[in-house]
C-alpha cells in the first residue's frame, strides 16, 4: 500500500495501520478518511479502533529493500499516508513493530510526517528510539500551526538526530513566515483538493512563492507538490468559479489536473540529500 506512490515527494507509501483522529484545520478535507472510511468502509475515523494492515503490506518494505540494494538506491518511503505514525491512540506495540521494520530495511529512507510533533520524542523513546534511517516531518497549514509544530520538530531534531527534518505546508491555508531557527531542511508545499463532501479552500499564490523564497534564503530544499483545485487567473485560462483575496488577487477553480504543479512557469522538485 502502495507501490510507486503518486505523491511527488516519495517513491513509496507504507501503512502499518489505518485510521486517525482529526486535530487541526488541515484535517478538514482528509483524503485518507474520504478514501478508507467514507468510500471503502475499512476503518472508522475519529475515536475508534485503528486497523492494523495485513502481512502483505508489512512485507512490502523488505521487497523494496532488496530492490534498493540491487539498484544502489535509497528510495523515500512515506509512513503513514492513511494514519499518523505518532498518533497516541495507537497500540504502542504497533509502532515498535513498525520501527523494527525500518531498522531492518536500512536502504530505505522513511518519511515520518505527523500533525502531532509534540509526541515524537516521547513515543519514539518508548519503543527504543528513532530508527537511524528516519526523517521527521510536521504538517503546518497556517501560522499558528507552523509556530507550534516547527518548534516541536526542532526539539525532536535535537533530541533524536533524524536524517533530516521537513515541513509539509499542505494544504496551505494562510501565509507562513518561518523563523530561521526553526526552518526545516526540506520545505514541501501544496494546495488543497476536493475530498468527498469537502470542497478545497483556495491558496493565495504568493503564499507558495513566499515559502519558496524563504527556503532558498536559508538553504532548504524546496518541493512544490501541487497547486490544488485553484490557480491564479493569470496562469491558467478556462472556465471556473473565481475567488478574490483581500489584496485583489484572483484565483480560478479549474481542478487539480489543469492547475498543475508549476509556480510562475517553474516546477520545483528538490529533495534533501542523503548519504548512500
Q: What is the pLDDT of residues 83-109, one digit of tens each?
A: 999 999 999 999 999 999 999 999 999
- Would you say residue 2 has pLDDT above 60? no
What pLDDT score does 3 carry?
A: 55
Identify the band that residue 138 occupies on the pLDDT scale cut at 50, 70 and 90: very high
Beta bridge partners of 195: 198
The residue behind cell 535535537 is: 158
Cis omega (within 30 of 0) on the bond before 9?
A: no
Between residues 68 and 3, the one the model is more confident about: 68
152 has pLDDT over 60: yes
d(CA 201, CA 246): 15
For residues 133-154, give the mean pLDDT: 98
Confidence of residue 4 (pLDDT cuts 50, 70, 90): low
**Average of per-residue pLDDT across 183-207:** 97
The H-or-E segment that residue 230 falls in is: strand 230-232
Q: Of 32, 17, 33, nearest to 92 (Cα)?
A: 17
Decide if pLDDT at 217 tops 50: yes
Cα(265)–Cα(268) distance, integer angstroms? 10
Supply the pLDDT for residue 116: 98
Band of pLDDT at residue 275, cut at 50, 70 and 90: confident
Distance from C-alpha of 213 to C-alpha of 115, rounded to nearest angstrom: 24
244: three-class secondary structure by DSSP:
strand
| Whether 98 contacts 77, CB under 8 Å | no
Residue with cell 484545520: 25
Give the Cα separation of 91 and 38 in Å (integer). Answer: 23
Q: Is the bond preceding residue 171 a cis peptide, omega within 30 degrees? A: yes
Average pLDDT over residues 139-143: 98
| Helix (H) or strand (E) run with residue 259 in it | helix 256-259
Select the more confidently predicted residue: 52 or 239.
52
**pTM confidence score:** 0.96
Domain ranges of the chain: 12-267
Q: What is the rounded radius of gyration, in angstroms, for the C-alpha atoms of the chain?
A: 18
Closest CA to 170 of 245, 251, 113, 127: 113
How do residues 25-79 score in pLDDT, each as one tens digit? 999 999 999 999 999 999 999 999 999 999 999 999 999 999 999 999 999 999 9
CB 125 within 8 A of CB 91: no
Residue 196 has pLDDT above 90, yes or no: no
As to burial, measured by CB atoms within 10 angstroms (0-12 exposed, 13-18 middle, 19+ buried), residue 262 is: middle
Residue 190 DSSP class: E
CATH number, domain 12-267: 3.20.20
CA distances from 85 to 14, 95, 224, 257 (A): 11, 7, 23, 30
Q: What is the pLDDT of residues 258-274, one digit of tens each?
A: 999 999 999 999 999 99
The residues, any chain, with a CB within 8 Å of residue 230's CB and separated by 6 or more, are: 191, 200, 202, 203, 243, 251, 252, 253, 254, 259
* 169 membership: H or E segment, kind and range: strand 165-169
Predicted confidence band at 239 (pLDDT cuts at 50, 70, 90)? confident
Mean pLDDT of 19-23: 97
Cell numbers 513566515 correspond to: 177
Mean pLDDT of the chain: 96
Amino acid at each position: 500500500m502502495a507501490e510507486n506512490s503518486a505523491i511527488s515527494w516519495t517513491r513509496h507509501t507504507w501503512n502499518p495501520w489505518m485510521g486517525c483522529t482529526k486535530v487541526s484545520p488541515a484535517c478538514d478535507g482528509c483524503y485518507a478518511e474520504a478514501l478508507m472510511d467514507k468510500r471503502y468502509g475499512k476503518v472508522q475515523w475519529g475515536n475508534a479502533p485503528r486497523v492494523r494492515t495485513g502481512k502483505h503490506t508489512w512485507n512490502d518494505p523488505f521487497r523494496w529493500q532488496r530492490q534498493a540494494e540491487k539498484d544502489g538506491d535509497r528510495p523515500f518511503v512515506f509512513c503513514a499516508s492513511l494514519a499518523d505514525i505518532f498518533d497516541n491512540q495507537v497500540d504502542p506495540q504497533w509502532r515498535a513493530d513498525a520501527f523494527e521494520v525500518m531498522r531492518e530495511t536500512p536502504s530505505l529512507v522513511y518519511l515520518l510526517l505527523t500533525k502531532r510533533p509534540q509526541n515524537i520524542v516521547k513515543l519514539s523513546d518508548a519503543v527504543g528510539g528513532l530508527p537511524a534511517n528516519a526523517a521527521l516531518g510536521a504538517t503546518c497549514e497556517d501560522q499558528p500551526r507552523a509556530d507550534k509544530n516547527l518548534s516541536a520538530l526542532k526539539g525532536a531534531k535535537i533530541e533524536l538526530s533524524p536524517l533530516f527534518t521537513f515541513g509539509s505546508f499542505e494544504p496551505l491555508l494562510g501565509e507562513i513566515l518561518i523563523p530561521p531557527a526553526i526552518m526545516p531542511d526540506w520545505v514541501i508545499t501544496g494546495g488543497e483538493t476536493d475530498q468527498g463532501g469537502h470542497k478545497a479552500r483556495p491558496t493565495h499564490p504568493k503564499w507558495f512563492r513566499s515559502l519558496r523564497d524563504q527556503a532558498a534564503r536559508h538553504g532548504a530544499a524546496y518541493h512544490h507538490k501541487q497547486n490544488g483545485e485553484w490557480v491564479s487567473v493569470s496562469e491558467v485560462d478556462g472556465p471556473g468559479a473565481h475567488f478574490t483575496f483581500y489584496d485583489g488577487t484572483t484565483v480560478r477553480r479549474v481542478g487539480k489536473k489543469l492547475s498543475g504543479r508549476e509556480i510562475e512557469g517553474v516546477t520545483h522538485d528538490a529533495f534533501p540529500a542523503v548519504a548512500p
